[in-house]
Amino acid sequence: MDIKALLAKMTLEEKASLCSGMDSWHTQAIERLGIPSIMVADGPHGLRKELPLENPNDPVNTLEAVCFPTGGTIACSFDRDQMRAMGKALAASCKAEGVSVLLGPAANIKRSPLCGRNFEYLSEDPYLTGELAAEYISAVESEGVGTSLKHFAANNQETRRMTVSAEIDPRTFREIYLAGFETAVKKGKPSTLMCSYNKINGTYSSENHHLLTEILRDEWGFDGLVMSDWGAVNLRPKGVQAGLDLEMPTSYGQNDAEIVKAVRSGQLDEKYVDLAAERVLRLVYDLLPSPEETAVFHREQQHQLAGELAKESLVLLKNQDNILPLNPSQSIAFIGKFAESPRYQGGGSSHINSFKVTGALQAAREICQIQYAQGYQTEADETDEALLQEAIRTAQQADVAVLFVGLPDAFESESYDRTHMSMPQCQNRLIQEVCKVQSNVVIVLHNGAPVEMPWEPSVKGILEAYLGGQAVGQAEAELLFGLANPCGRLAETIPLQLSHNPSFLNFPGEGDRVEYKEGIFVGYRYYDKKELPVRYPFGFGLSYTTFEYSNLSLDKTQMKDTDTLKVTVQVKNTGSRAGKEVVQLYTSSLPGHQKKAIRPVQELKGFQKIHLEPGEEKTVTFLLDKRSFAYYDPQLADWNVETGTYQIRVGKSSRELLLFQNVEITSSPRPADPLTMESTVGDFVEHPQVKQLLLQAFAQAEPGKTFEELSAMLSSSYVLQTPIHTLCNFDSHITLDLLRQLVEKANTLL
């Protein structure tokens, strides 16, 4: 299709009409020119395709589909292959149903455990987020289905999300909240991005030229389409000029008319409308379903895949006295409504109409006899005494009690945030009462985000199931009974209590303004820097086998920041069971020389999941580039590596690093910061040529002092911290004119 020729035939009104949806889920068609429309549908962990309502009173009008583990769950797999498998399956379901663009993945950072949409988001860490999102995107796109990476950017809360302004400094924005998107764009190459509702530093994302054009397109090379989140448009002409191509859903022609009006009045150059219309047309013709192509939605096969993905993602947090795996010959009690009817997905636009659901009770009864008690209701946080007493009796009569607890639907969802990190008190009481009569208690958690665990010291086992998709019960049963070996790792830190979270004092902000005062210290970056104890650290997860790390090796110990560092480490399964290990690599900028930038203690820069049979050993290889050691320097408006010593740390989690090796890195020459009258003496003397110039100037002003005396003066900590302009207050021979001349000459040497 010759898009340019097609555009030339269109009227301004027709081009403007392409800049908004035809309805809630389709792009605009233009019959006069034979331009078709394509369909988009919600994701990201299942196909949520809306159907025509046959019964206006029917609350469910979406296609029966398969709900895979949510983003926050599958990120705990730390497995690129699992992300690709899910992406391929989602693409197949989209093709079978004529959906051209799947709205996902969601790559926003988990700033606070209270965000109501955390279950959709992948991680608190931008490196893990970007790597996994890129795999998802490339898998879906490889099948001819588009993706929409969302929500660009800084949609880290639901409270007043359509009006709040996220106040973020440039370094934090780049290192934490944009880095995952950057990786996903560059590696995954999504067809579209979806802008967020919120403002960023006072400007709506939908009108943010710096975000949508300067960063996304000019810097990152994105050549696709930017669409709005549903209703995330303020001033439509301003959005077109900023780089927002497609408004969703339809505005019933009203914003199209605003675009035309702005062009006619000279407020908007028509070239921006042409550009937006061209991007829409390219998307339509690139992703238009082929009438010859047929695809089948294999729901049963995808259900089995959903269970496999869950098995790779669930995290064993505690296994005291090796209470797990369970022995089928034991008397086992399952307690809790979630054992029979699991909470396996969150609420809002990602809610899937699952065609079937497998609970742990159903799956476990295919393994052995299980006694069951409901234990609690989910409709209200009130203890049902009859259910509680039944649960206590059931637990008392068993060898082991497995309690399935967590957050009911009403506790977390899109459109509102949590106000606390507690589970329902009726469930906490249930756990406490069962622990009084049963010493062998295992907890299985169903929750989209971390919860406080006041009962943790009293129980022997904890399996974090998060929101594991419609086959989560099958995965839980296989892990509990040892038919599979747990291999999930936490993609976020679980703090001891909410007040320890770095955003605690500034979430969700005041009115329509939220300040990200914690800066780059999000998640483990904060807890490590503060040396705070946590309930469970980032990257943590137990296994039924053991692993040994050895022979960490670097292919060089000195390098330039433009070089690539090859890191290898050997990992051996020293236990009696086959299992998978997540090998994690962190980099650390060591102290010991003057640092311009405050850095985290360490940052994740590599991970690989490997399968090992008992006694098997493998060599794991990582390649680290400049970004593995860099921070974002706002003055340079670029990524920078300071010359110095960096440490490679490899291990099992952010708090269990086992092997360490240092590498010396020399930074590429960079423009020096200009010196001014406000610069300190220390700023001058850190440049050898400038230091000599300073000494010469002082020698002329103070002919009675020796060179050694002047050098000693310049080494004084007091003098080093003194602004140059202040020196005239201490010696009448040092004039302001002399200092101004010195500054001018010094800058010519930088």
Q: What residues are annotated to the active site?
A: 229
The set of residues, in sequence order, having a beta carbon less than 8 Å from that of 708 and lying 6+ positions away, is none
Distance between CA atoms of residues 507 and 522, nearest Å = 13
CB 153 within 8 A of CB 177: yes
Report DSSP letters for 123-175, one per residue: -S-HHHHHHHHHHHHHHHHTTT-EEEEEEETT----TTTTT-EEE--HHHIII
Extract the tokens encoding 389. 């007493």
Distance between CA atoms of residues 488 and 581, nearest Å = 9
CB 83 within 8 A of CB 137: no
The set of residues, in sequence order, having a beta carbon less than 8 Å from that of 208 and lying 6+ positions away, is 195, 200, 242
CA 722 to chain centre: 43
Extract the tokens encoding 1. 């299709």
| Nearest residue to 490 via CA among 374, 386, 604, 615 | 604
| Secondary structure class of 582 (helix, strand, coil) | strand
| Secondary structure class of 716 (helix, strand, coil) | coil
- Return the C-alpha torsion angle 69, 71, 75, 79, nearest 10: 70
| Nearest residue to 68 via CA among 40, 51, 91, 52 | 91
Instruction: Report the half-sphere exposure of 64 (CA within 13 A, side-chain side).
Output: 7
Say whether the peptide bond before residue 276 is cis (omega within 30 degrees of 0).
no
The set of residues, in sequence order, having a beta carbon less than 8 Å from that of 710 and lying 6+ positions away, is 695, 698, 699, 702
Query: Beta strands of 447-511 (E only): which ranges?
Result: 461-464
Q: Taking CA 515 as the corner, what is the angle to CA 510 and CA 519, rounded to the nearest 5 degrees? A: 155
| Nearest residue to 581 via CA among 650, 660, 662, 524 | 650
CA 74 to chain centre: 12
Distance between CA atoms of residues 633 and 682, nearest Å = 20
Place of tokens 């902000």: 509
Extract the tokens encoding 292. 């010859």
